[in-house]
Amino acid sequence: MSDFENPWTILGSKKVYDNNWIEVTEFSVINPSGHPGVYGKVHYKNQAIGVVPLDDEFNIFLVGQYRFPLDQYSWEIPEGGKPDNEDPLECAKRELLEETGLKAKQWKVLIEMDLSNSVSDESAIIFLARDLAQHEAAPEETEELKVKKINFEHAYEMVQRGEIRDAMSVAAILQIKLMMLQGEQF
């Protein structure tokens, strides 16, 4: 239970868009200053799941793909969407295998976060995957992926240079770097 009350008054709502992945609702509101307005909310039908596959030599596996909304190519950690009826860890295992062909024996929740919380309710869980074994990848039909294995420090430098911009990937790589600096065991 939160100690804070919602300063917004909702007068009404209407669904303005709906597809397999998102639903957009427009709310008629009284804003915190007492004035009428509208607020749009994007509801994500799947929870975002990410995986940082890190091998024994501290190499990380990144997935490259064209991102339609940004009209650009992106290097990022393996990611996917978890339906309500799927366990987060099982989703992480499925996404890792689909996108990279990797299976891991050791799993740890690395970070949980909210994404773009000013307009959406999307949340994410990112896992660290260790003790990796290579198998056959099986990307979804909407994915044209490239996989590259690079030293973790190189991935960290890519974040620093702005070459990795995906929010989950940036957060996960920075979290691992922080853990390294603090001497945490992997």
CATH code of the domain containing 175: 3.90.79.10
Q: Is 169 helix (H, G, I), strand (E, B) or coil?
A: helix
CB atoms within 10 A of CB 139: 15
Say yes or no: 89 and 22 in one domain.
Answer: no
Say yes or no: 74 and 163 in one domain.
Answer: yes
Say yes or no: 163 and 114 in one domain.
Answer: yes
Say yes or no: 37 and 98 in one domain.
Answer: no
CB atoms within 10 A of CB 27: 16
pLDDT at 32: 95
Please name the residue that has the structure tokens 């639903």. 23
pLDDT at 144: 84
Q: Is residue 2 part of a domain?
A: no
Q: Span 135-159, mean pLDDT?
A: 91
Say yes or no: 81 and 16 in one domain.
Answer: no
Q: Is residue 3 part of a domain?
A: no
pLDDT at 50: 98
Q: What percent of the chain has pLDDT above 70?
A: 99
Say yes or no: 69 and 148 in one domain.
Answer: yes
Q: Is residue 21 part of a domain?
A: yes
* Phi, psi angle pair for 105, to nearest 5°: -95, -25
Give residue 139's pLDDT band: very low, low, confident or very high (50, 70, 90).
confident
Question: Is the separation of the CB atoms in 53 and 102 below 8 Å?
Answer: yes
pLDDT at 1 over 90: no
Domain count, the chain: 2
Say yes or no: 37 and 107 in one domain.
Answer: no
Q: Which of 50, 83, 73 is nearest to 169 (CA)?
A: 50
Q: Is residue 4 part of a domain?
A: no
Q: Span 174-179, mean pLDDT?
A: 98
Rg (CA), the chain: 19
The boundaries of the domain holding residue 13 are: 9-44
Say yes or no: 138 and 168 in one domain.
Answer: yes
Q: Span 139-147, mean pLDDT?
A: 82
* pLDDT tens readout for residues 150-164: 999 999 999 999 999
Say yes or no: 141 and 65 in one domain.
Answer: yes
Q: Span 169-175, mean pLDDT?
A: 98
CB atoms within 10 A of CB 183: 6
Say yes or no: 35 and 62 in one domain.
Answer: no
Q: Span 60-82, mean pLDDT?
A: 95
Cα of 30 vs its chain's centroid, Å = 32
User: What is the Cα–Cα distance from 61 to 158, expressed in whole angstroms?
Assistant: 13
pLDDT at 65 over 80: yes
Say yes or no: 139 and 62 in one domain.
Answer: yes
Which letter does DSSP use for residue 57 in this model? T
Residue 125's region, left for phi above 0, alpha for psi from -120 to 50, else beta, is beta
Say yes or no: 39 and 64 in one domain.
Answer: no
User: What is the Cα–Cα distance from 62 to 51, expressed in whole angstroms?
Assistant: 10
